[in-house]
Structure 1
Amino acid sequence: MSGNDHYFTARPASPDERRVRTVTLGGQDVDVETAGGVFSPDHVDLGTEVLLHSVPAPPAEGDLLDLGCGWGPVALSLALASPGARVWAVDVNERALDLVRRNAELLGCANVVAVTPDDVPEDVTFAALWSNPPIRVGKAELHALLLRWLPRLSPGAQAHLVVAKNLGADSLQRWVADALADVADVDRVASAKGFRVLRVSAH
Structure 2
Amino acid sequence: MADNEQYFSSTPSSQDVRRELQVTLRGREVVVETSHGVFSGSRLDLGTSVLLRHAPEPPEHGVFLDLGCGWGPITLSLALESPESTVWAVDVNERALELTAGNAKRNGCENVHAVTPDAFAEEFPSDAGFDVIWSNPPIRIGKEALHELLMTYLPRLNHGGEAYLVVQRNLGSDSLIPWLADQLGDGFTVGKYASSKGYRVIEVLRA
Which category of TM-score, normalised to the shorter sequence, fits these structures? over 0.9
Separation in 1 of the partners of 2:62 and 2:98? 23
Structure 2 spans left out of the alignment, 5+ residues = none
Offset of residue 183 of structure 1: 3.7
* Counterpart AA for 1:162: V
Answer yes or no: is the 8 Å Cα contact 2:4–2:40 preserved in 1: no
Alignment of 1:58-97 (within 5 A): 58-97=58-97
> Which residue of structure 2 lines up, in the alignment, with residue 12 of structure 1?
12
Alignment of 1:31-180 (within 5 A): 31-120=31-120, 121=124, 122-180=126-184
Separation in 1 of the partners of 2:6 and 2:146? 16
Answer yes or no: is the 8 Å Cα contact 1:65–1:88 preserved in 2: yes
* Counterpart AA for 2:170: N
* Counterpart AA for 1:46: L
- Identity percentage over the alignment? 56
Separation in 2 of the partners of 1:68 and 1:160? 13
Separation in 1 of the partners of 2:101 and 2:75? 10
Answer yes or no: is the 8 Å Cα contact 1:132–1:162 preserved in 2: yes
Residues 116 and 140 from structure 1, CA distance in 2 versus in 1: closer, same or farther, beyond 3 angstroms?
Answer: same
3-state SS, counterpart of residue 17 of structure 2: coil
Match for residue 200 of structure 1 among 182, 199, 204: 204
* Counterpart AA for 1:89: A
Offset of residue 2 of structure 1: 4.2
Comparing 19-28 with 166-175, greater Cα deviation is found at 19-28
* Counterpart AA for 1:96: A
Separation in 1 of the partners of 2:60 and 2:7? 31
Deviations 1:84-132 (A, max 9, x none): 0000010000000000011001100000110011222123310100000
Structure 1 spans left out of the alignment, 5+ residues = none
Separation in 2 of the partners of 1:183 and 1:131? 21
Comparing 42-51 with 22-31, greater Cα deviation is found at 22-31
Answer yes or no: is the 8 Å Cα contact 1:26–1:80 preserved in 2: no
Aligned residues: CA RMSD: 1.4
Offset of residue 5 of structure 1: 6.1
3-state SS, counterpart of residue 189 of structure 1: strand
Separation in 1 of the partners of 2:54 and 2:4? 34
Deviations 1:125-164 (A, max 9, x none): 1010000001111111010011100000000110000000
Comparing 122-131 with 40-49, greater Cα deviation is found at 122-131
Match for residue 188 of structure 2 among 181, 184, 187: 184
Offset of residue 177 of structure 1: 1.1
Q: Which runs of 4+ in 1 moved over 3 A?
A: 1-5
Offset of residue 4 of structure 1: 11
Offset of residue 184 of structure 1: 1.1
